[in-house]
Structure 1
Amino acid sequence: MSGTLNKVMLIGHLGDEVKMHYFEGGGCIGRFPIATNDSYTNKQTGERVVNTDWHNIVVRNKAAEICEKYLSKGDKVYVEGRLKNRQWQGEDGNTRYSTEVQVTDFTFLSTKKESQSNTGTPASNTNTNTNATPNHQAAQPGPSQQQQQAPQASPAGEDDDLPF
């Protein structure tokens, strides 16, 4: 084991539509920003302060196509992945840097319509989980397999040390 971990989990709202880039070999990349908020009350003024952080999200292949089809600006989404730093030369000759979240798993939490109507409950048909695989295949929209399975009872007579 290498003793290191690069894992990011975010819940936020899309700040823009998913921008797609298609390659000659048939692959594609989707990019979109997610906003996350942190709030606190200023002790000196009693004023509520909200800080917004923006995160650059990158999804690939089938997952990107699913995001493009079902996500729009304002939607709430959970993404999980790893941080990737990039650098490049800008048009002015200066070196530019960016940090992106390379997505390995995501779940749609709400749509823009739900956010506007303030229902507070995500639609069951908008949940999508995708685990990164070598060929980057994604699950189709719908409840995850984990949600569809009934909880399993432990075998009778199994002794555990739990107090309940």
Structure 2
Amino acid sequence: MASYNRVILIGNLTRDPEVRFASGNNAICKFGLAVSRNYTTRDGEKREETTFVDIDAFGKVGEILGKYLSKGRPVMIEGRLQLDTWENKEGEKRSKLKVVCENFQFLGSGRGGDEEGSGGGGYTRSSPPPRESSSRSGGGPAEDFDDEDIPF
């Protein structure tokens, strides 16, 4: 049976990203995202429904998100759903659905969390971040760039 696990979300951060480093200096970035849905009821009343999603990002993606995002900032996240399961102190089985970020796009101007539109840069695990100039030598992997290479 075929399966496909892909999620695309646009929302605002509910808290500042928390970055930690695991073995091998691999970054793990965790943050929350609020995603709103506006709709009109049958009675014509406008309503807003907000879903809160936990996001995890690893490696260079996690480092960049942790460095440039903050509470309130808008961002587009692309990734996959992952179910975490564990037992609590009382021995009860618990589970939580989260999104593992694989790609992202910064939104807004970066000066406030409420601005709409696109701007800033994006990044995928399979490609290096955008470069400001093609005259720079190298062009190696994503781990090989400076903060000055990010176009915002």
Under a length normalisation based on structure 2, what TM-score does the superposition of the two structures give? 0.76
Residues 1:141 and 2:140 are matched in the alignment: no
Q: Corresponding residue for 1:162? A: none
Deviates more, 1:66-75 or 1:103-112: 103-112
Shift of 1:66: 0.7
Structure 1 counterpart of 2:65, from 54, 64, 67: 67
Shift of 1:137: 4.2
Distance 1:9 1:121, change over 3 A: closer
Determine the C-alpha separation between the residues in 1 that align with 2:39 and 2:122: 32
Given that residues 63 and 137 in structure 1 are in contact (C-alpha distance below 8 angstroms), is that contact kept between their aligned partners in structure 2?
Answer: no
Alignment of 1:1-164 (within 5 A): 3-44=2-43, 46-110=44-108, 113-115=111-113, 118=115, 120-123=116-119, 126-132=120-126, 137=142, 141-142=150-151
RMSD between aligned residues: 2.5
* Unaligned residue ranges in structure 1 (runs of 5+): 144-164
Given that residues 73 and 112 in structure 1 are in contact (C-alpha distance below 8 angstroms), is that contact kept between their aligned partners in structure 2?
Answer: no
Q: Corresponding residue for 2:131? A: none
Q: Which string of whole-angstrom CA distances, capped at 9 and with x for unpartnered residues, describes residues 85-143 of structure 1?
A: 11011123211111111111101112562445x5x4544xx21222348xx94675238
Determine the C-alpha separation between the residues in 1 that align with 2:60 and 2:27: 8
Shift of 1:40: 1.6
**Relative to total residues, which structure has the larger strand share, 1 or 2?**
2
Residue type of the alignment partner of 2:5: N
Q: How many residues align?
A: 135
* Unaligned residue ranges in structure 2 (runs of 5+): 128-140
Distance 1:58 1:108, change over 3 A: same
Larger Rg: 1
Under a length normalisation based on structure 1, what TM-score does the superposition of the two structures give? 0.71
